[in-house]
Chain A
Amino acid sequence: MNIDASMLVAQFISGLCRGMILFLMASGLTLVFGVMRVINFAHGSFYMLSAYMAYSVTQFFMTGAYGFWIALIVVPIAVSAVGGIVELFLLRRIYDKEHLLQILLTYALVFIFNDSVKLVWGTDLRIVKMPSQLSGSVSFLGQVFPIYYFFIIGTGLVVALSMWLILKSTKVGKLLRAAAEQGDMVGLLGYNVSAMFTVVFMVATALAGLAGVVISPTIRLALGMDILIIIECFLVVIIGGLGNVWGALLAALITGQTYAFGILILEKYAMAFLFALAALIIIFRPSGLLGKSGQ
């Protein structure tokens, strides 16, 4: 195979696209861990739930050209409401308990969500229609690219940028960073920590919801898509450093590129590169790329 520039660009873009979806997912996962110290296995379930909800919304507005755009706004909000309920009624009870209990609870949620999705949408194969405004493709450097993939990359960039602005220069952002560092202290200063936890969890589920809607037109919806993404997300969070949003961004981008260029080098064993990378990180830098050592 002759490797030329156009090919490298093509692999870079598809890797970027995958990285952005992983970032949307992993940032929520790592945020919840950083602030609340909860390892949320059910994070992928919110992603699956919102992909199915996106299906229903686009089906409902089938004749209109805006079904997808409505889903893009409505679904993350709806899913984050579900997340809020989960936090208020379930997670809140176990913050001071050991990690094992938290894992059991969030793992149980995976099964509950899976069966709920099965009850509501059944096991038939579902395909979400691509929004007509983004359904074409562009070609440059002799490679064809669907416009939609640039939309995914754009969404990821917008989310990363807004997160950066919020965390850096708003009061909420400062509080969040403080809560992640010294949760008790923030409480002592008179701030309502438990309300903050609810908000963080809702934001995280909304991000998972956004990822679910954004990915839905490119895939075939199936039960089990929650587990597939959550494994990769945990790898990203481990590589990036637990609880670190920028670590998650960096790790998601690296993961996407590793995957894309891995295919170019050893097309038969592309997945192995990712696990090898995670293993190397665990051995040589257990706290992750941007994680603080000693955590």
Chain B
Amino acid sequence: MLFNPRFGSVGLVLGLVAVMVLAMTTVPSFAEKPIRIGMIDCYSGGAAAYTKPALTAWKMVIDEFNAKGGLNGRTIELVIRDDKFKPDEALSHARELVLKENVDFLAGTINSASGLAVSEYAKQKKKLFIIHVSRSDRITGEKGHRYVFRGCPSADIEGLAGGEFAASMPFKKWYVIGEDYEYGHSIADNFWKGLTKNKPDVEKIGEAWPKVGETDYSPYMTALAATKPDAVYVAFGASGILAFSKQAKLFGLTDKFPLFAFAFADSTTPMVLKSDMPTGIYGGSNYLWYYPDTPENKGFVAKYLEYTTKLGEPDKYPSGVGVFAGYCCAKFLTEAIVKAGTTDTEKVVAAMEGLTIDTPIGKIKMRACDHQAETPTFWGKIVQVEGFPFPVIKDVVTTLPNKTMPSCEEVAEARKKAK
């Protein structure tokens, strides 16, 4: 009898301590269960020159989001996987990320085929998947669905803008040389569509399709030169363009013929090529670190430099294909999560449809009907300009997305046909 109350109070104290310990460990960690984003991309080979900076931009946005307290204390963490540019590996990573790592969202891919494979899986599993580099127009076109979004331009945006820009030039006889894969054909077709729509009297006098990864383009260069075209369209992917530009300069093609290629204007190209960078060519980009010359853009470049300096790899000239695309996608996703107030896929999808984000080049909207970001395109002649570290576009021509994107009806029609 004497013992019982004492034991009871000891028990009570112990119980209380136990509850407190439990509360300290489990309750807050429940509130702070991180939001997980599964990132699948190719981090080996030539593609890494674009995917690594894209990833850095994601991290910059996520760090900012986390520093502000995340979503009610829930921070974002990235789970990163390398697909080695192989669609089947991308797909198995997607499975593993969803089933084992329990990621809330999927992101990534530079390879269009990987993007399409992961997109199909995201559709089955009803997981939101946002694409940041892949360009194939099928991703948000005929193969698009409720759960896939793209924050970078599509091949039709890039290609049609290039074609429209080229149509303003006096060149009539064109030669097309491209890399023989999804992106190469897709961008060349769209370029040609844009060119012939705006200038019906052009003529294609020849074309060539070297295989992807080809190292020696010299026989192509001499064959091309012999056809004596007025201008050449180069439909090369981001890493193939480097070897091509180098050899084109060697063979004097860049002096003889006006060369057009989207990737020429991206800051990655001159930074890798250095003194081998040709001038007098025409290039495009979805983002230029020097244009528009606004406080917002300057601020972005400075912020990115500060962030990359902290990482030990200072980058003064953020690229369009990598950095800007990664930045936009991370913005779209984090802002949609905040707007939805939850990580519930259906609600975040609804929040992202029609969402407009502020970017260093102005507002960009995620079109609700096909989940394609409405991105502008910049084209122009690339020349050496006083005060710039490498050749840049001097007079920038901006093409707005309303001129380059297929209409919602066209997309709906294409999707219906594909079914």
B416 interface contact, C-beta 8 A: no
Dominant secondary structure at the A interface: helix
Which of B131-139, B147-155, B240-248, B380-388 lies on the face that meets chain A?
A: B240-248
B61 interface contact, C-beta 8 A: no
Given contacts A123-B44, A222-B46, contact A267 B206 (CB under 8 A): yes
Separation in Å of the B312 CB from the closest CB of chain A? 14
Query: 0/1 per residue, A15-45, Cβ < 8 Å to B?
Result: 1011001000000000000000000000000
Which of A124-132, A156-164, A196-204, A237-245 lies on the face that meets chain B?
A: A124-132
Given contacts A125-B239, A218-B216, contact A264 B223 (CB under 8 A): yes
Interface residues on A, range: 35 or more
In the assembled complex, which residues on chain A have CB atoms less than 8 Å from the CB atom of B45? 123, 222-224
Task: Choose one: B210, B246, B252, B272; the contact of A137 (CB below 8 Å).
Answer: B252
Give complex CA distance A130, B45 in Å.
22
- On whether the beta carbons of A137 and B250 are closer than 8 Å, the reply is yes
Which of B29-37, B273-281, B330-338 lies on the face that meets chain A?
A: B273-281
- On whether the beta carbons of A228 and B225 are closer than 8 Å, the reply is no
- On whether the beta carbons of B222 and A11 are closer than 8 Å, the reply is yes
Dominant secondary structure at the B interface: helix
In the assembled complex, which residues on chain B have CB atoms less than 8 Å from the CB atom of A225? 213, 215
- On whether the beta carbons of B276 and A127 are closer than 8 Å, the reply is yes
In the assembled complex, which residues on chain A have CB atoms less than 8 Å from the CB atom of B211? 271
Task: Choose one: A125, A148, A229; the contact of B272 (CB below 8 Å).
Answer: A125
- On whether the beta carbons of A127 and B219 are closer than 8 Å, the reply is no
A92 interface contact, C-beta 8 A: no
The A207-235 residues at the B interface (CB cut-off 8 A) are 215, 218-220, 222-225, 228-229
In the assembled complex, which residues on chain A have CB atoms less than 8 Å from the CB atom of B67? none
Query: 0/1 per residue, B209-245, Cβ < 8 Å to A?
Result: 1110111101111110111000000000001001100
In the assembled complex, which residues on chain B have CB atoms less than 8 Å from the CB atom of A148? 250
Give complex CA distance A264, B222 in Å.
9
Give complex CA distance A7, B225 in Å.
9
Separation in Å of the B331 CB from the closest CB of chain A? 26
Interface residues on B, range: 35 or more
- On whether the beta carbons of A146 and B215 are closer than 8 Å, the reply is no
Query: 0/1 per residue, A251-293, Cβ < 8 Å to B?
Result: 0000000011001100110110000000000000000000000
Give complex CA distance A20, B45 in Å.
26
- On whether the beta carbons of B219 and A270 are closer than 8 Å, the reply is yes
- On whether the beta carbons of A14 and B44 are closer than 8 Å, the reply is no
Separation in Å of the A267 CB from the closest CB of chain B? 4
Given contacts A123-B44, A220-B246, A267-B208, contact A7 B222 (CB under 8 A): yes
- On whether the beta carbons of A146 and B272 are closer than 8 Å, the reply is no
CB-nearest residue of chain B to A126 = B272
- On whether the beta carbons of A127 and B44 are closer than 8 Å, the reply is no
Choose among A13, A118, A215, A263 the residue with the greatest number of B CB atoms under 10 Å from its CB. A263
A74 interface contact, C-beta 8 A: no
CB-nearest residue of chain A to B252 = A144
Give complex CA distance A268, B215 in Å.
17
Give complex CA distance A215, B243 in Å.
12
B256 interface contact, C-beta 8 A: yes
Task: Choose one: A139, A149, A264, A270; the contact of B218 (CB below 8 Å).
Answer: A149
Give complex CA distance A4, B226 in Å.
9
- On whether the beta carbons of B208 and A224 are closer than 8 Å, the reply is no
Separation in Å of the B268 CB from the closest CB of chain A? 8
Give complex CA distance A129, B249 in Å.
13
A188 interface contact, C-beta 8 A: no
CB-nearest residue of chain B to A17 = B218
Give complex CA distance A14, B218 in Å.
6
In the assembled complex, which residues on chain A have CB atoms less than 8 Å from the CB atom of B214? 228
- On whether the beta carbons of A219 and B252 are closer than 8 Å, the reply is no
B378 interface contact, C-beta 8 A: no
B43 interface contact, C-beta 8 A: yes
Task: Choose one: B48, B242, B250, B252; the contact of A139 (CB below 8 Å).
Answer: B252
In the assembled complex, which residues on chain A have CB atoms less than 8 Å from the CB atom of B205? 1
A113 interface contact, C-beta 8 A: no
- On whether the beta carbons of B250 and A146 are closer than 8 Å, the reply is yes
Separation in Å of the A94 CB from the closest CB of chain B? 29
B207 interface contact, C-beta 8 A: yes
Give complex CA distance A120, B6 in Å.
68
In the assembled complex, which residues on chain B have CB atoms less than 8 Å from the CB atom of A224? 45, 213
- On whether the beta carbons of A146 and B251 are closer than 8 Å, the reply is yes
Given contacts A215-B215, A220-B46, contact A144 B225 (CB under 8 A): yes
24 contacts between A and B (CB under 8 A): A1-B227, A17-B218, A118-B44, A124-B48, A127-B246, A127-B273, A127-B276, A129-B275, A130-B250, A137-B250, A144-B256, A149-B218, A218-B246, A219-B216, A219-B246, A220-B46, A220-B239, A220-B243, A220-B246, A222-B45, A229-B215, A263-B220, A264-B223, A268-B207
* 8 A-B pairs with the lowest CB-CB distances in the bound complex, closest first: A144-B252, A10-B222, A123-B48, A14-B218, A260-B219, A146-B250, A7-B226, A220-B243
Chain B residues at the A interface, C-beta cutoff of 8 Å: 43-46, 48-49, 52, 205-211, 213-216, 218-223, 225-227, 239, 242-243, 246-247, 250-253, 256, 272-276
Known interface pairs A10-B222, A17-B216; 7 further A-B residue pairs with C-beta atoms within 8 A, sorted by A's residue number: A21-B216, A220-B239, A222-B45, A263-B223, A268-B208, A268-B209, A270-B219
